[in-house]
Amino acid sequence: MTIRPLVIIPDSKLRLVSEPVQEITGEIRRLADDMLETMYDAPGVGLAAIQIGVPVRMVTMDVSKSEDERQPMVLINPEIVWASEAKRVYEEGCLSIPEYYEEVERPDRVRFRYMDLEGATIEQEADGLLATCVQHEIDHLNGVLFIDYLSKLKRDRVMTKFKKAAKREAGA
């Protein structure tokens, strides 16, 4: 397992729409291992493959409360098949937008379908943090960031901040 570098805004890769995984290969399994290792190291509760520069529809998540009770999930080609009309506000952050958090309103409950590493199709319902995380990570696969749900003013502020940081880093 390898910890991979994270793609940080304003990198345009984060706006790519990821391609479906066609076949579960050894390479896909290694990618899943690397993604979990990277996610835990960051630390975060979710990671989309595009966040390490790989434009495939794969997500890793673990919303367990403690390191001792890890419950890693690997979702291949995930999709939301139902969302509740009831909404919930949750403070979100993103490994690709370090140290920035903002409240986002999303459906409170979702049903999602994905393939696991064994190739089985699984459908699952979620609420709370898991529902928020699933929606956030699937958004990444479609080139959408949580800041896209904010007002234009807030989104522009965060983009300006990270563009300046990227320029400073490039000049260093």
Q: Report yes or no: 51 and 96 within 8 Å, Cβ to Cβ.
A: yes
Q: Which of 23, 91, 123, 137 is catalytic?
A: 137
pTM: 0.95
Instruction: Give the model confidence (pLDDT) of 104-140 as tens digits.
Output: 999 999 999 999 999 999 999 999 999 999 999 999 9
> Which residues on adjacent β-strands are paired with residue 58?
76
Report whether 136 belongs to an annotated binding site.
yes
Lookup result for tokens 């979990």? 36
- Is the pLDDT assigned to residue 1 strictly greater than 90? no
Quick: pLDDT tens for 130-143.
Answer: 999 999 999 999 99
Note if 137 is an active site residue.
Answer: yes
Domains in the chain: ranges and CATH: 12-171 (3.90.45.10)
Rounded Cα gap, residues 115 and 71, in angstroms: 17
Residue 7 in tokens: 């793609």
Q: Do the beta carbons of residue 70 and residue 37 sit within 8 Å? A: no
